[in-house]
Amino acid sequence: MQNVIFKFSIISVISVITLFCASVLNANTIDDIQDKIDIANKNRAALEKEIAGYQNQLKTIGEQANTLQNTIKSLDVSTNKITTEVKLVETNIKKTSYTIQDTGLEILNKEQQINKGNLAIKSSLRQINEADNMSVWEILLANDDMTDFWTEIDNIIQVQAKIGDQVITTKSIKTKLEIAKADLELQKKELEDYTKELADRKNILLSTKKEKNTILTTTKNTEANYQKILKDKLALKEALDAEINQFESQLRLAIDPKSFPPAGKGILKWPLDNIYITQNFGKTADSGRLYVSGTHNGVDFRAAIGTRLLSSGNGVVEAVGNTDTVCPGASYGKWIFIRYDNGLASTYGHLSVISVKAGQRIKTGEVIGYSGNTGYSTGPHLHLSVYAGQGVQISTLKSTVCKGTYTIPIADPKAYLDPLIYL
């Protein structure tokens, strides 16, 4: 019996030494990774502060007159902002990669602890089994006096208690292991999202630089030419609006009032992280001047170029498009049309980059694209239209105004709804 206990003690000591060496190695590696995570967090904070500064500059410029000088200045600041946002996403990728490494080491460490715990439990069980094969009389006779006998009995009881403690500890480690594995999957998804965002932001940066070059080329850097271009764009927009209004007025789509939810706050989620409304739905101070119908068919939100756009609900991206390919500067520009599961639908207009595809299922709050200044826009913003889903469809129209064919969401006039009664 003494030999059994001695063997058990040796195995326990070896296990402790092995675990200690592994933990020291992992501790050094984990500390190194944590230092990198801390540095990444500091860099993130500095970049976010820089972006906020550019955002304030853009807000100030946006409140000024729409001149060539202000437009170029806005594009320059936007370029600096987007460049910094690219650096921020790259930093987020590094930080997330370090976090994945950290979690991976944590998982490895816990798996090692579980394996060692299982070995210790098996060893203890073997010892108990050997002890069970000896009767109390055999244990008594194997010892010279009663003191040694009771020591042997006490050792057996302690081993049994250690088994219970080891089982509880191992179960606890297994629970933490499952949590760490779930965290790892979330971190991998986050890394995937950041990688996609990085590609999108680089595209936004390219399109912003291209827009500046196009403006300088077409205006020949003169204010008079710029104002003439704005005037021509407005005239083209009004002509295209009249054409679309004619198409829509001819629609006679049956709309069941029960096919979409009644007005209620929170039925749809805000399409931006930060909300600032620049024009409401319906008759507004500018609608009579800007729209042939005299009403604004959606809500406009202030959104600097490259602002993330979020899905307002669960649904399917039915179509995406770009009216600028046929009618430059006259309509939505780059747009996304989503049909929600609750019977509503919406169009996002004036985007810089579209991040989703037709037929793709999306969830509430998912990034679908980035705001921009495409189509007819007096400045970067998001236009959001909301419809009773049965009253809107994607149509390919032959335009006499633009001398081409374009695809766009068109709706029975009675299908347009005020987004703010659902947001």
Residue of 202, 198, 193 lying closest to 90 (CA atoms):
198
| Top-tier CATH class for 2-203 | mainly alpha
Provide the pLDDT for residue 160.
Answer: 58
pLDDT band at 327 (very low <50, low <70, confident <90, very high): very high
Res. 226: pLDDT tops 60: yes
Provide the pLDDT for residue 177.
Answer: 85
Domain spans in the chain, listed from the N-terminal domain onward: 2-203, 222-421
Provide the pLDDT for residue 283.
Answer: 74
Average pLDDT, the chain: 84
Provide the pLDDT for residue 51.
Answer: 95
Provide the pLDDT for residue 147.
Answer: 54
Provide the pLDDT for residue 8.
Answer: 37
Res. 163: pLDDT tops 70: no
Q: What is the tens place of the pLDDT at every residue in 43-68?
A: 999 999 999 999 999 999 988 989 99
Q: What is the tens place of the pLDDT at every residue in 110-144?
A: 888 878 877 776 776 666 555 554 444 454 445 55
Identical fold for domains 2-203 and 222-421, yes or no, is: no
Provide the pLDDT for residue 19.
Answer: 42
pLDDT band at 109 (very low <50, low <70, confident <90, very high): confident
Q: Which CATH number fits domain 222-421: 2.30.140.10, 2.70.70.10, 2.40.70.10, 3.40.50.150?
A: 2.70.70.10
